[in-house]
Chains A and B, each alone.
Chain A
Amino acid sequence: MATKSITATGAAVRSVPPRKPLNLRDLIVPWLWIGPAVIFVLVFLVYPVLNTLWLSLQNADSSQFVGLRNFARIFTDSAMLGVLGNNLLWIVLGTAATVALGLLIAVLVDRVRFEGAAKAAIFIPMAISFVGAGVIWKFVYNYDAPGQPQIGLLNAILTRLGGQPQAWLINSGINNFALIAVYVWMWTGFCMVILSAALKGVPSEIMEAARVDGASEINIFFRIIVPMISPTIAVVATTMVINLLKIFDIIYVMTGGNFGTDVVAVEYYNRLFTFNDFGISSALAVILLIAIVPIMIFNIRRFRQQEAER
């Protein structure tokens, strides 16, 4: 990428930036190119972010400046702390499960003949909307009183095996896990496809060499495959984390945030549209934004590192 430029005398000089006198054309043209993008970012990103920040420092109907009181309310209210805790559970479990399962399946189907069909089957839930998946799984988890015909798949199996039907979405010991399972069902396919592509990029010579040296398949997986595709794993994991921070539809459709399953995005929606409280809802949005920033920085660093390696 070294720049080469021609001086007035015609001699080639390496690595010296051009020092032409700036004319109007040079000043304007770059801005014309970048202008639409800048305007887009300003109007649709910077302005809303600043406005949300400003709203988060005001009261419910934005008529009075209250400083950080909205944030103080969020972090002192035990119900709100529960909401934040749920989000944390979603991020940790959701990311771990989708990435781990995605990787496992990618490695396993890599070795079978019907790879295409298997991958397609696992990828298909991706094509269903969150709301659609929520409705489907609401039927799977459906609970009817004991003795009644169970139309929920899970409870039908459970009672057929002689167990008692469970209220999967109400019982606060299991409902969060039941909801996260829906997300995992939807997104494992996505992780699998991307990781599978990365897997194909691992040179077979290295694995052959390892096998010749007597490494077990498990050793090959942990010592060769995982380190070699770790950049891809990181990308997939950060995508999942960002996805999960914003998780809304599954919970809204399946439990409405009741029975201890509330998350930040659902709470934000309720505060804004039901209570018309612009202060608290903006504060929640700001918290989400701040939570995403470190992941973004991580992503950008990673990206730069990769660029530098090229």
Chain B
Amino acid sequence: MLPADRQQRDAVDSLVDEFTQQGLSRRAFIQRAVALGLSASAATSILAACGNNSGGSSSVSSVNLLTTWGSTELDSFKAVVDPFTKQSGITVKVDATRDLDAILTTRIRGNNPPDLAILPNPAKMQQLAAQNKLVALDSLVDMSKLQSDYAKTWLDLGSFNGKLYAIFYKAANKGTVWYSPKTFQSAGYTIPKTFDDMVSLSSRIASSGKFPWSMGVSSGAASGWPATDWIAEILLNQSGPDVYDQWVAHKIPWTDSKIKSAFQEFGRIAFGKHFINGAPQSILATDPQPASYLPFKSPPAAYMYYLGDFAAGFITSQFKSIQPGTGFDFFPFPTINPQFQGGVTIGADLVVAMKNNNGVRDLVRYLATAPAQEIWVKRGGFTAVNKSVPLSAYPDKVAQASAQQLTSATAGKYGAGDIMPPAMQQAWWKGMLAYIGNQGSLDSVLASLENTAKSAYAS
């Protein structure tokens, strides 16, 4: 009995697939279901469960989307999707997971990929596109509209072998140092323009017995990433975009003096005498979110904090009544080499498709439009790369300034770790933990990263 049952179930499953994805007509569905031994009423109720599909053409009533977003971000995304569902009748089933890599690998290997996924970095997109697991978007969306809405850099970063596979959706400006204007004013501190100024201000604060910096790099299996953001931002401002590109593509070794000096520059903050309370252990033990609170406590437990613009979301959710512009604000990452002033590293979540059906098509088109993105922009915590989203849509001055800095950056470069091969990125995270734990280990950390790079870039 059991094998026969299972066979029948499989047959019904594949029939349902055919119905939902290839547009089998209702009558054909019921006829074939009855032929498989189902009662007519059972067949009809399956049909009802699949959603009403009167069109008959390749049409689905729901799409499945995989993402790493949670809590506030997920709520905002649902707010973006709501009008789409109302308009098109297509529901978007969102699976949120912190373990996107594992779930995606498993589901793709099992031939059961989600319709769409929001990837947190383009390296994964490149990997999947190379394995032929993604649907090219060129034919799905209006390319001329995209070309007018998005800067060429974004379309290039979303392409593989000349075809567009990803739409850059939610961007993050990682050239922001957070501070409290109120505290700075009352203490008589001025915003540092150069890195050296920033270090001397830090020493001044430290010599008055206070801790100038807050830092936290703990993040579960991804521990270390906030520190890699530091290095990327420093290297871009210290050695410029060309060296940055060479480094990311592993054209220059990790042991190169330029890379080493970026690590050392970071070390001036991380290992500064009396710069961070409880360092280095507190850096390793603290998550980036709670670390972002310290400068805004009263009395302040720190004065400066470096993290991408999404830190604003952490700060405002912890201190409900804090005023943007006076209670908290950011200053642009200070200049290291005047020649490369204003370099900004960027992070972004991107939309990719793994199946081709009307739901995927409509949703991708919708998400790429300015009005859809404005919904989230207004809710806060979202920086759009779509040029048609007006600066006035941002909820406050701080968010506006961040978006402005992003669009006007002299050198906007994608966050280095996110475009390196995943194995390299992971090794780099761990390398940062080792360096923070022991300043003297820098040479051996860099040598071991170079070792990893040799195999990570080869495959």
Contacts and interface: CB of A to CB of B under 8 A. Distances in A.
Contact of B281 (A170, A269, A275): A170
B285 A143 contact: yes
Contacts of B459: 60-61
A145 B221 contact: no
A142 B287 CA distance: 11
Grouping DSSP codes into helix (H, G, I), strand (E, B) and loop, the A interface class, with mixed when no group exceeds half, is loop
A258 interface: yes
Given A60-B459, A169-B285, A257 B221 contact: yes
A216 interface: no
A161 B178 CA distance: 36
Contacts of B437: 170, 259
B418 to A, nearest CB: 14
B426 A275 contact: yes
A145 B102 contact: no
B433 A274 contact: no
A249 interface: no
Nearest to B451: A77
Contacts of A167: 281-282, 284-285
B277 A148 contact: yes
A110 interface: no
A272 B102 CA distance: 8
B278 A144 contact: yes
A269 B102 contact: yes
B223 interface: yes
B430 A258 contact: yes
Interface in A251-294: 252-253, 256-259, 269-270, 272-277
A227 interface: no
Nearest to B214: A145
Given A143-B285, A145-B278, A253 B127 contact: no
B105 A145 contact: no
A171 interface: yes
Nearest to B458: A60
Interface residues of A, number: 28
A256 B221 contact: yes
Nearest to B436: A170
B422 interface: yes
Contacts of B426: 270, 274-275
A275 B422 contact: yes
Interface in B222-278: 222-224, 276-278
A142 B437 CA distance: 18
Nearest to B426: A274
Nearest to B101: A273
Contacts of A60: 459
Contacts of A144: 278, 282, 285-286
Interface string B416-459: 00000011001000100100010000000000000000000001
B301 interface: yes
A190 B418 CA distance: 44
Contacts of B281: 143, 167, 170-171
B188 interface: no
Contacts of B127: 276
Nearest to A79: B448
Most A-side CB within 10 Å, residue of B102, B222, B285, B433: B285
A38 to B, nearest CB: 14
B269 to A, nearest CB: 16
Contacts of B110: none
A256 B278 contact: no
Interface string B77-106: 000000000000000000000010110011
Contacts of B279: 145
Nearest to B103: A273
A147 interface: yes
B277 A145 contact: yes
Contacts of A259: 284, 433, 437
8 contacts: A145-B278, A147-B277, A165-B278, A167-B281, A256-B221, A276-B105, A276-B422, A277-B423
Given A146-B278, A147-B277, A170-B437, 18 more contacts: A142-B285, A143-B278, A143-B282, A145-B276, A145-B277, A145-B279, A167-B282, A169-B285, A256-B221, A258-B224, A258-B433, A270-B221, A270-B426, A273-B106, A274-B101, A274-B423, A275-B423, A276-B422
Interface of B: 99, 101-102, 105-106, 127, 220-224, 276-279, 281-282, 284-286, 301, 422-423, 426, 430, 433, 437, 459
Closest CB pairs A-B (n = 9): A145-B278, A145-B277, A256-B221, A167-B281, A273-B102, A145-B282, A143-B285, A275-B423, A170-B284
